[in-house]
Structure 1
Amino acid sequence: MTTRLVQINMKARDDSALGRFWAEALGWGVDSEGPGVTNLEPVGFAYPDPTAVCIDLVARPEPKTSKNRVHLDLATTSAAHQAELVERLKALGATLADVGQGDVPWTVMADPEGNEFCVLEPRPLYRDTGPIAAVVVDCADPGELARFWDEAMDWTLHEVTDDHARMRSAKGVGPYLEFVRTPDTKSGWNRVHLDVRPYPGDDLAAEADRLRALGATDPALDRSAIHWTVLADPEGNEFCLLSPR
């Protein structure tokens, strides 16, 4: 048994409006599985597939109060493309953001609800990822967190240093999942989190137990209205274990 990263879940004051922003930003299609939920995936995409990590936006009334611990890095192919993308995103409602990055070659921005993301300078590593280069998780210990996710998923761990770790689907397609050391501490529930899904035929309860044995924990929450399993990684970052598919 194992899992794979299939989507990120992003809380939104207005899921429909924020969904339109991200659909335009990525060139993706928009759908909805019900009121208060907006689903984004590439046009013509057959979910789930490792060529893309999709986005689910879920309506929540709580405002954003701190820097997100999970964010997206967007890929570009040239300096001109990076500049054009930044301007296009501004026209869609994004703003420049300062998270203490200093003088860096990438551009830090925030979407219309303040969720941080980066528009990267062109990097050969991300030439075939699609519009999302990486899903990035802030953490205290990239190596330890990457080791947990390396055992939790069937993705391949590509690099581990003191400050950074990187993994990708074993099929060598789609965006990377990256862990970056930051001094920030986790405060409250993450507004953006990972959703992972076992494969068809796997046992959901057994997979949840396997993840707990690897170091996942059960955050305190009311589970009466949900049919999926909410866990937290060894640094307390919540994630959802969805039904096999």
Structure 2
Amino acid sequence: MKKNILLYGLAFAGGFTFERYYPYIKAFINNKSQKNDDHSFKSMLEEGNYIQPKVIELMHSSPDKHFLHNFIAQHNEALNVFKIYYPDKLEQKIYSDNLESEDKIHLHFVFNAADHLQGHSSIVHGGLLATLIDNAFGQLSYLASGQIPTATANLNINYRKPVKTNHDYMITAEIEKIEGRKVFLKAKIYDQNKTICTEATGLFLTVQWGGQMWKNALDKIKAATNLDQKLIKIDQEQKK
């Protein structure tokens, strides 16, 4: 009787764990097999030692995501390409006290918008560009603040040239300075010829709310990644 109860308990615990972490494992697997890795800026970013952080990519594919990822980034007919690149040694820069050096904290977003995201014919809707820039600022200020959540206080955008659908573009965002709770940022959108199409500045403020949500998401992703690695190891041992 006790043995049956123990087996049922283990089965329940196993099922609960699988149900909780399977979406993350699935996201981890899907992330490895994404087909939109090729774009016009790939060689340049690789030469500059830029990498795609696994945690950020997983967060974009996991159940704990906001509307940008639910309704735009993961929509099959929205973005042909949506990739984020950080400098290889970003963590060292984040915790550096010398933010005014030439080697400032920055990141790159590479995107290619499909026709479903046009405003005028074959022109990407300006609101989408504002959303992508705002999202880049939010992620960068979150990291630069020591992984404290931030919120948009001000966002200014100058649209200089049309951004066309079905073309590769790159958003370069960087921290200008940090003053207490205030994080000042700037960004530019470049086309394949390095022509500036859009410029933006932003002010983000660190906030008290939302921190636990991000921590929970990161903990789940870490646990799912460890579980996925264990499953891969077991599979390799079985094949031997």
Which protein has greater RCO, CA pairs closer than 8 Å, 6+ apart? 1
Larger Rg: 2
TM-score for the superposition, normalised by structure 2: 0.27
Which has a greater percent of strand? 1
State TM-score, norm by structure 1.
Answer: 0.26
